[in-house]
């Protein structure tokens, strides 16, 4: 029998029970993969329900289902930016690529051109990365700058000074080029997979079902390729930071970086 002393204390009105929040990555997965796949499926989870049939059936229903599946991720990304009031360059780039992908949804193609169209987002990001190296803010510097927004003013100054130093600035350009190149590799792989899987004619049940299949097949490899690109890019930058400020200095550890920069007389 449980004694009063061993009973868990009941929450008081001044200590409300905190509800567990669903991680954002789960919401991303739901709105950018699971819901679109469900919309495109001709038989959702074996229930016999087809969104295309509910939207009129035939070619018209399939086209409407295709557009709905393509536009829901776009709306989700834009809604996330507006609700969280995230106007960082990274978020704006994500919004721009989402709008670009949404506009391409109205380009009704199949076969080779659909495979290219489905890779529009990594192609757009890669081209943006290549173009950004001609500016003072190559894309990977924008990524790292956004990651430092929450730092204290002192640590943020150290991060900015470090990224402006000649060897680190050169490494940021190399990192951006590497990141863009890996994104292009991802686009080629994605296009090849879509070209092999999505062989149906636009507006048919088979076309929509094959898109759902290709999306499911490429999600994990696509994320893995992006992570490899980011890891290679950061490795190039970290090597330059270590060479400049010594072992232990890192843009991701502002306290250590600040201390190393003070030792080097740069702060």
Q: What pLDDT was estimated at residue 5? A: 45
pTM of this structure: 0.81
Q: Which two tokens stand for residue 120?
A: 């529009």
| Closest C-alpha among 180, 188, 187 to residue 127 | 180
- Tens of pLDDT, residues 122-159: 999 999 999 999 998 899 998 888 777 778 888 888 88
Give strand ranges (E) for 32-80.
none
Between 4 and 215, whose confidence is greater? 215
- Tens of pLDDT, residues 61-70: 999 999 999 9
């Amino acid at each position: 029998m449980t004694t009063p002393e061993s009973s868990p204390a009941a929450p008081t009105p001044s200590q409300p029970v905190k509800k567990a929040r669903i991680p954002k990555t789960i919401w991303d997965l739901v709105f950018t993969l699971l819901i679109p796949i469900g919309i495109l499926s001709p038989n959702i989870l074996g229930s016999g329900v087809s969104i295309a049939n509910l939207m009129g059936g035939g070619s018209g229903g399939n086209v409407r289902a295709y557009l709905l599946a393509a536009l829901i991720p776009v709306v989700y990304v834009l809604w996330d930016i507006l609700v969280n009031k995230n106007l960082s360059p990274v978020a704006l780039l994500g919004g721009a690529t989402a709008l670009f992908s949404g506009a391409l949804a109205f380009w009704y193609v199949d076969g080779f051109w659909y495979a290219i169209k489905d890779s529009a987002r990594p192609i757009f990001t890669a081209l943006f990365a290549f173009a950004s190296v001609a500016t003072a803010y190559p894309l990977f510097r924008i990524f790292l700058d956004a990651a430092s927004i929450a730092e204290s003013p002192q640590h943020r100054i150290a991060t900015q000074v470090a990224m402006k130093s000649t060897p680190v600035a050169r490494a940021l350009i190399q990192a951006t080029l590497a990141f863009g190149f890996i994104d292009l590799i991802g686009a080629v792989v994605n296009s090849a997979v879509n070209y092999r899987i999505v062989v149906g004619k636009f507006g048919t049940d088979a076309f929509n079902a094959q898109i759902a299949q290709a999306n499911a097949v490429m999600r994990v490899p696509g994320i893995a390729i992006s992570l490899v690109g980011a890891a290679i890019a950061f490795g190039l930058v970290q090597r330059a930071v270590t060479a400049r400020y010594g072992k232990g200095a890192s843009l991701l550890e502002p306290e250590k970086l600040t201390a190393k920069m003070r030792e080097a007389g740069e702060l």
